[in-house]
Amino acid sequence: MDNSDQILPEKVILDVFSGESGEDQFPIFAQMRTMGAVIPIPSPISGMDGQTWMVTRMEEAMQVLKDHTHFTVDGGSINGNSDIRQNNADPSAPPTFLNAKSMLSVDEPDHRRLRRLVSKAFTPKYMESLRPRVQEIADELLDQVQDKGEMDLVKDYAYPLPINVISYMLGVPQADQARIRVWSEAIAHGLGLGRQEPGVAEQIRAFGEYIVQLVADKRQHPADDLISQLVAIEEEGDRLVEAELISMISLLIFAGHETTSNLIATGTLMLLDHPEQLDIAKADLSLVPEVVEELLRFNGPATIAGPRFATEDIELAGQQIKKGDMVIPILKSSNRDELQFTDPEELDITRTMKRHLAFGHGIHMCLGAPLARVEGDVAFSTLLRRMPNLRLSVPRENVNWHFTLSSRGLIALPVAF
């Protein structure tokens, strides 16, 4: 099949993943799928040897994400390949998930060991036990704006809800949440695939230093929270060293709210963009769990999965992948794969869906998926129940996006109710 007339300029593809492009990503992803399930692009990371490949379709993306024999997240484990996490890293900065080993950047057996330490706190059963607290937080946030008749859904609801929940779980003092927001925004907006904005390194250092101090405080004053449990495990000696502990906590704080905030804000806009779907959801709030799954498929928080590296030569969708090549599954493209979904470009909250890849796949599938589902369920059902007349309070073209860690998020979402 000749797709030569469909070929996109390489710059258009790279700009979508670097944040340089303000265009809607989805038509570009659709065009990329016509070019092939696995397509070569120029390396987005300076100094990287080998070819870089983008995976555009679900079947091949799942293969890459679950095949730990032929693909690894740890580029440094392959001869002659630098560890991309160490690019531009300050060696004197405290360890965080951005510059030190974490569950994101190691494979077995270290991955299993690290994940097991926190997995008890992220079981569906435990997440479900948090539902009353999540509900309290959602109601408290809406209580603060209910009488005003309007709010910025990002600032007043989508952002504070998940950061309150993860802080409650971990034992992060409420007084520190404003500082964490500054660091998280700097990291989310200042980093991308092969991109680091000036000043981000200082924010990462400050975030790491804060966690070092937080851990020291928990050693002195342990409480009934996850950080205190991890500190106790680290002090037992054989399963967690301090650098892993600090890196782990930084990952849980950051990942525990940034993506869910994006889901709530972007998901609300998607529903407002599709009033007939919004009406179906409002008429039957028992559908909200299905609403959340379709919003995750249609425009989930993560554009790509973390890069994988070929551990040996392998053929994938007819392409010859060489040892050391970087392979990047595009989750948002896979979730609109015409071979997997009927009318994939349509939002349909009644869709029967076997799977989506919004949380990834395989051993590195998002640890916080059960928490995100509980938070999404509570956030949307509470919003639709209490504010059935929810609507945008600015013209649609005035809703602005910004770029966050190879994804797009809303700067603000002014609504009235």
Short-list 237, 368, 381, CA closest to 301: 368
Residue 206, pLDDT above cutoff 70: yes
The secondary element (H helix, E strand) that includes residue 9 is none
CA distance 310 to 64: 9
Residue 81, pLDDT above cutoff 60: no
Query: What pLDDT is stored for residue 191 in this prediction?
Result: 67
Residue 113, pLDDT above cutoff 50: yes
Strand bridging mode 407-410 / 308-310: unpaired
Q: Which residues form the domain of 151?
A: 4-416
Q: pLDDT tens, 231-268? A: 888 777 667 788 888 998 999 888 888 889 999 999 99
Output the average pLDDT for the chain: 89
Q: Is 69 exposed, middle or buried (0-12, 13-18, 19+ CB in 10 A)?
A: exposed
Which of 29-33, 133-137, 236-240, 273-277 comes out lowest in average pLDDT?
A: 236-240
Residue 105, pLDDT above cutoff 90: no
Query: What pLDDT is stored for residue 263 in this prediction?
Result: 96
Peptide bond into 109 cis (omega under 30): yes
Largest CA distance in the chain: 66
- In three-state secondary structure terms, 28 is helix
Question: Greater confidence, 64 or 84?
Answer: 64
Q: Which two structure tokens, joined as six digits, stand for 31? A: 């065009």
**Mean of the pLDDT values across residues 387-411?**
88
Query: What pLDDT is stored for residue 234 in this prediction?
Result: 79
Query: What pLDDT is stored for residue 167 in this prediction?
Result: 92
CA distance 399 to 77: 43
* DSSP-assigned states of every residue in 367-395: TTHHHHHHHHHHHHHHHHHH-TT-EESS-
How long, in residues, is the chain? 417
Q: Which two structure tokens, joined as six digits, stand for 282? A: 């409002």
Alpha helices in 85-176 (DSSP H): 110-119, 124-129, 131-143, 153, 160-170
Total domain count, the chain: 1
Q: Which residue type, as a one-letter code, is found at position 317?
A: A
Write 132-138 long-range contacts (CB < 8 A, 24+).
Answer: 133/165, 133/168, 134/161, 134/165, 134/374, 134/375, 134/378, 135/378, 135/382, 137/161, 137/164, 137/165, 137/168, 138/378, 138/379, 138/382, 138/383
Residue 3, pLDDT above cutoff 60: no
Band of residue 2 on the pLDDT scale cut at 50, 70, 90: very low
- In three-state secondary structure terms, 127 is helix
Band of residue 80 on the pLDDT scale cut at 50, 70, 90: low
**Mean of the pLDDT values across residues 274-290?**
98
Residue with tokens 């559908």: 287
Q: pLDDT tens, 331-390? A: 999 999 999 999 999 999 999 999 999 999 999 999 999 999 999 999 999 999 999 999
Bridge partners of residue 224, in order along the sequence: none
**Mean of the pLDDT values across residues 50-74?**
95
Residue 316, pLDDT above cutoff 80: yes
Q: Which two structure tokens, joined as six digits, stand for 376? A: 């999404």
Question: Greater confidence, 48 or 106?
Answer: 106
Question: Greater confidence, 391 or 254?
Answer: 391
Contacts with 140 (C-beta within 8 Å, 6 or more apart), sequence order: none
CATH of the domain at 101: 1.10.630.10
Angle, vertex CA 222, rays to CA 162 and CA 210, nearest 5: 55
Contacts with 388 (C-beta within 8 Å, 6 or more apart), sequence order: 282, 417
Residue 96, pLDDT above cutoff 80: yes
Short-list 170, 271, 161, CA closest to 211: 170
Query: What pLDDT is stored for residue 237 in this prediction?
Result: 66
Identity of the highest mean pLDDT range in 68-82, 224-238, 301-315, 396-410: 301-315
Short-list 28, 84, 7, 66, CA closest to 332: 28
